[in-house]
Amino acid sequence: MTNPHDIIIKPVLTEKSYDYLPQKVYTFIVDKNANKTEIRQAIETIFDGVKVETVHTVNRLGKMKRQGAHEGRRASTKKAYVKLKTDSKGIEFFDNIAQ
């Protein structure tokens, strides 16, 4: 298995992700090749005392951008919505920021 910090790239801190915090749903940018089982294991390894109930993933295609006559595409990403079990403790990183 790869390093859990290689699977979980960074948290998503947006208004929409803050709306999901009371339901214990946390949002992360993850490796494009990671599957749901690897994401679940990485979250439980990185954050002690956290039990994952479900993982939903979304593949986002990068936007087309242009500069003058040249066109290119931003990098595509994969986003994971991680729902924790009701008896699980929350992720302190998100709880401290949301206050």
Q: Is the pLDDT of residue 71 over 80?
A: yes
pTM for the model stands at 0.87
- 46: enclosing H helix or E strand: helix 36-46
Report how far residue 52's alpha carbon sits from residue 86's, in angstroms, rounded to the nearest whole number: 10
86-96: average pLDDT: 82
- What's the confidence (pLDDT) of residue 1? 53
The percent of residues in the chain predicted with pLDDT above 70, rounded, is 96
pLDDT band of residue 11 (cuts 50, 70, 90) is: very high
- What's the confidence (pLDDT) of residue 9? 95
With tokens 């998503």, the residue in question is 12
Whether domain 4-86 has CATH 3.30.70.330: the reply is yes
Domain boundaries, the chain: 4-86
CA distances in angstroms from 22 to 17, 25, 30, 36, 90, listed in the order given: 10, 8, 22, 22, 10
